Structure 1
Amino acid sequence: MKQFFIYVLATIAGIWITILISILGSFLMLIMMIAAGSGSSSPEISKHSILHINLDGSIEERAQGKSLIDELQGIQNNSIPLNDLIKSIRHAATDSKIDGIYLECNGGSAGTATLAYVAEELAKFKESGKWIVAYGDAYSQGNYYLASVADSLWLNPIGNIDIHGLGGSTPYFKGLLDKLGVEAQVIKVGTYKSAVEPYIMTGPSEANIQQIKAYINPIWDYIKDGIATGRNVDSETVNQWADSIIATQNPATFASRNVVSSLLYRHEAEDWMKTATETDSDESLNLVSPTTYAASIKDKKSDNKIAVLYAVGDIVDTGNSGIVGAKMAPMILDLAEDDDIDALVLRVNSGGGSAFASEQIWEALEQFKAKGKPFYVSMGDVAASGGYYISCGADKIYCQPVTLTGSIGIFGIIPCVKGLLTDKLGVNVSTISTNPNANLSLAEPMTEIQRAAMQRQIDRGYETFVGRCAEGRNLSVDSIKAIAEGRVWDGMAAKRIGLVDELGTLNDCIEALALEQGYDKYQIVEYPDPKGEWWEEILMASGNVKESILNEELGEARQLYNAIKKATQLERIQCRMEPIVIE
């Protein structure tokens, strides 16, 4: 009886704690919403302001809502929203209150196409006659690529610059899986479909090496030529900087070699900007961040509304992050029925994921087109495999020269843990069933009949994928198959072989759509709302706490943990390109 009362009291205590947490969470979210509302008025920008682009975090497609856990812990998000950044650079060119742009290079990161987009907009900004200056104590290669556009590129006298070319690393897990007694049973279509290789091989296949070299070299040529143009040197000189490990060299020679404009300490760079903006030496520079500046820009109002729908991250069937098929498909159908929305630009930055979710999103986009509304696609850093699947039906596809796309292929992975259970843990699994294939168990390897059945399903999915691409691109199935096989292409090659229509940025895509439709004026409406609902934040809070603790404890090992976790959670059939880090 005593134990019974202890259980009852514990249950009551648990209920009250849950209620208190819910009330506290709701109260905090209410405060956050009130605070957000109170700061919703447009900030005032004073004369002689400088657009200050502080590259100390990652450049992401758009602003993300701050989670409840981040608010409670006081965590600052240093990421730079690409949409705010581009909007700010464009508007600053004609704003008399903005004298110039200051690129403060602190090692921030971004995808290659993202960097190219920003570099292009900075070059256009210079055409206004306004200045751009860059300063850094240590330049990463990506930061240096952007800084090379500047009129003046300054380096701390004892700083360094990293230029090394492009390369990427992929972890291969077969050795680990063998030690654990786990077999990755792979069924795929596509010679170049290399996303499965880390689970069944100890290194890349010859086909994969071939395709990586085929796209990484032209991408490096594009970046290298951009640096060469900005620094007024030839491209081979930039290669020499990379080959000589310039990061280890004495910066005293950099100015004479045009690597930098001059060597300055930070206060000297600030003094130059004070003179340029007529700011007294004892006063602070009037620096304005892209996010603050973008908030001050009044959006154009028009009856012609173009929806920009962001499809960023992994494609999944359900969930709360990435491109969620169960959420995005209904959203597209709603846009199709919305009389206020006249056209759609799908902004894709995804290496793919679930084949099922990709098909649902593709079909919803077909319904959008059936309403007689134009539908364009703008590709970011990557729009491959499932990312290409959801793009292929567009009226026009835009990508950048350094975008990675294609990877038209499909695969499935079914792990077999018999070795782990029986050999490692001493667990025997017994199956009793009415039919031979009533129970496709992870504890037993697939039979030949089961593998053949899975292969038929994968083949059918591949034929569907290829058929969607052929229909969308107005090409024959054989023409698509000739460039498919899971092969990844750079943007320039993609345009040459007909996977995309034009080379250009998101703004180029939007402007082309507006011109095609004859819009003199138009209004951009972005979807989905990145903030989400307050009650979703509360429900997700416990999961965010767990993830935060794991990331803190695992440190650098969290990438390996996340890769293994993702592999165990994949939907059965995948349209996915292997994750590639180019840096």
Structure 2
Amino acid sequence: MKKLLIILLVLIGLATLLGGGLLVAFGVATWAGRDRIAGSTILELDLETPFNEYIPDSPAAEIFAGGGAKVRNLVEALERAAGDDRVVGLLARVGGGGSGLAITQEIRDAVKAFRESGKFAVAWSETIGEGGPGNVGYYMATAFEEIWLQPTGDVNLSGIIYESPFISSMLEKLKVTPRFDQRYEYKNAMNIFTDTKMTLAHREAMTQLMDAQFGQMVRGIADARNMTEDEVRGLFDHGPFLGHQAVDAGLVDGLSYRDEVRDNVTSRVDGPTKFLAWNKYLDKAGRPHTSGTGVALVYGVGNIMRGESGYNPVLGSMVMGSDTVAQALRDAIDDDDIEAILFRVDCPGGSAVASESVRREIVRARAAGKPVVVSMGNVAASGGYWVSLNADRIIAQPGTITASIGVLAGKFLTTNFWSDLGITWDDVQSSAFSSHYSSSYDYTESGWAAFQAWLDMIYVEFTEKVAEGRDLPIERVREIAKGHIWSGEDALELGLVDELGGFPTALRAVRELLELDADAPLKLTLLPREKTKFEKLAAIFDTSSDTAMASAAAIETMRALQPAVRGIGRVVVPPSTRGVVHVPALPQAQ
């Protein structure tokens, strides 16, 4: 027995030494390879892959959403490369464009800033929108000085269409009755359940958003391709274009295969060249903003709900948990090394309670003398705007979808639906309002009055906070609120945001608020702190880590499925379950 114990201890010791040795070897290899960037390096970039704002530290997110690159990483890689003499140019693959308009504008700005260093930036595509629209993909491509297209490729300029389904007739056939209300007419998510087509207000809001976003693309393309705006609008009316037609129209510079384009760009450089993927370059060169005045970077991404941030593997969407984000903001407030906060928001809304919990921490940060700058992504609307409105500065892209200052809620009545299936319900009730949230009962007269008072309370609170936070007259806020979505460009004119731009603009605002020099170094610290590669590698040596991670992901997936399973027969999920300050899933400009 004693010998067996000794052997067991020896084996444990050897395993520990082996694991430690591998960790050391990994560290040495990482350190040794970190700076090995050849002279005359050409960065390669794939813009056909959608970019993520943020991936929460959860097993489900790591497994189901871990493949996408992050916007910040690309922006910082191009910023670093612009000043790196070893990098001579950029070759990017473009296509349909699936990252959303605001993220596309963020990347366009980063590419144009890279070009200002005097280095070439060339785009190549197999096809821009195969079998589908290529509007945003082509808009992205025009950030580059040259665009080359594979001979069999197309440029599918088609213009924007925003389509909304309406299922009220289906619900009527299923004998499901929607009972919702809104504040006010532009808060149109409930229209999907109550109408057969867009209301006048719904159509007005969508048309204004479409005109704004389409105009931004037209101006960007016209400027990049040396055309007038009328010429570009005419091209949209005459698309899509086959390869040779795209050349004749001046949309692309020529037809070439990938190998020919690579040969073309290497011929521009004296001596041998090497291609290097942009993300590997960032790993080797190191990201900027790692020393200087401390600035916390906090992400608010996904539907905002109470609890922890995470990822819904069923819907494929992020969840912005108020507990996680509020704690990150509190950590920034309490950290003496942090002097300002950059809050990156990409959120369509959700819970008013969760939104208020996060907003409160923004107020506390400013009271503690730490300025807060909000940088908006694709969407920062309804609850996403609520959490932003008290920042010192709000920065949005022209194509950001924001505002939607309003509220909606309600429920579906499903008794007749169940009855047709041969299912009946019965109950006992303790109080007058016991059935208030039940799908088996309509609102009572007093219940409906209480429901209306609740909607009014949230709307009044929302608009008053906007008026205070944005220093606007309450009467003006009420004019532009009513649940109306606005583009970032329109929001700037309305006083709902302060400036247009992305990460670099937000960092400039931080320096201004801290009264630093324009080129003062900043140290960005991500909160909550991200696990390092060493920590992730060390988890491998936990014999249960793989099983635990898979099990945790499976549990998260099952938990996400459970509401859908319980809700079979309810037909659709009412907007109120996603939060009362929420915008419906909006089509991105494609």
Question: What secondary structure sits across from 1:287 in the alignment?
Answer: strand
Per-residue Cα deviation, 1:520-578 (whole angstroms, up to 9, x for no partner): 3221112334669977845532146669999xxxxxxx9xx99x998258548510112
1:290 to 253, 257, 278: 278
- Indicate how the Cα distance of structure 1 residues 275 and 358 shifts in structure 2: closer, same or farther if over 3 A, else same: same
Cα gap change, 1:309/1:69 in structure 2, threshold over 3 Å: closer, same or farther? Answer: closer
Shift of the 457–147 alpha-carbon distance from structure 1 to 2, 3 Å rule, reads same
What is the CA distance between 1:515 and its match in structure 2? 2.6
**Aligned residue-pair number:** 534
Q: Distance in 1 between matches of 2:586 and 2:35?
A: 39
Deviation at 1:303, TM superposition (A): 5.0
TM-score by length of 1: 0.84
Which amino acid counterpart does residue 582 of structure 2 have in structure 1? R
In angstroms, what is the RMSD of aligned CA positions? 3.1
Q: Deviations over 1:93-135 (max 9, x none)?
A: 1211111010112434111111112112212222221111111
Q: Which residue of 2 aligns with 1:304?
A: 293
Which residue of the partner structure matches residue 9 of structure 2? Answer: none
Query: In the TM superposition, what are the counterparts of 1:144-163 in structure 2 within 5 Å?
Result: 144-163=138-157
CA drift at 1:260: 1.0
Q: 2:118 aligns with which of 125, 129, 133?
A: 129
Residue among 219, 227, 239 paired with 2:221: 227
Distance in 2 separating the partners of 1:486 and 1:572: 16
Q: Which residue of 1 aligns with 2:89?
A: 100
Residue 82 (1) aligns with residue 71 (2): yes
Matched, 1:439 2:435: yes
Structure 2 partner of 1:528: 528
Q: Does 1:256 align with 2:238?
A: no
Q: 2:364 aligns with which of 360, 364, 367?
A: 367
Equivalent position amino acid for 1:391 in 2: S
Q: Normalised by the size of structure 2, how large is the TM-score?
A: 0.83
Give 2:205's match in structure 1, choosing from 200, 211, 216. Answer: 211
Q: 1:402 maps to what in 2?
A: 399
Look up the match of 1:541: 553
Q: 1:573 to 1:141 in 2, by over 3 A?
A: closer
Q: In the alignment, is the contact (CA less than 8 A) between 1:349 and 1:380 conserved in 2?
A: yes
2:350 is the alignment partner of 1:353: yes
Query: Could you tell me how far 1:298 is from its partner in structure 2?
Result: 4.8
1:430 deviates by: 2.8
- Residue 325 of structure 1 and its aligned partner are, at CA, apart by 1.2
Partner of 1:12: none
- Residue in structure 1 matched with residue 479 of structure 2 by the alignment: 482
Between 198-207 and 55-64, the greater mean CA deviation after superposition: 55-64
Tell me which of 37, 43, 54 is aligned to 1:45: 37
Contact 1:458 1:573 in 2 (8 A): no
Residue 578 (structure 1) aligns with: 584
Distance 1:107 1:526, change over 3 A: same
Q: 1:311 to 1:400 in 2, by over 3 A?
A: same
1:343 & 1:432 partners in 2: Cα distance? 55
| 1:574–1:370 Cα change, 3 Å | same
Unmatched 5+ stretches in structure 2: 1-15, 129-133, 312-318, 540-544
State the match for 2:490 in structure 1: 493
* 1:425 paired residue among 421, 426, 435: 421
Q: Is contact 2:55–2:61 with CA below 8 Å preserved after alignment? A: no
Residues 329 and 64 of structure 1: CA distance in aligned 2, closer, same or farther (over 3 Å): closer
* Higher alpha-carbon deviation: 169-178 or 255-264: 169-178
Deviations 1:62-104 (A, max 9, x none): 4666947976xxx896523111111111121121111101011
Structure 1 gap ranges (5+): 1-26, 551-557
Letter in 1 for 2:42: I
1:170-185 to structure 2, matched below 5 A, reads: 170-185=164-179
* SS of equivalent to 1:254: helix
State the secondary structure of the residue aligned to 2:127: strand
Q: CA deviation at 1:241?
A: 2.0
> Do the aligned partners of 2:155 and 2:246 also contact (CA within 8 Å) in 1?
no
Q: CA deviation at 1:406?
A: 0.9
Moved more, 342-351 or 136-145: 136-145
The answer to whether the Cα contact below 8 Å between 2:298 and 2:328 also exists between their aligned partners in 1 is: no
CA gap of 1:338–1:549, structure 2 versus 1, over 3 A, is closer
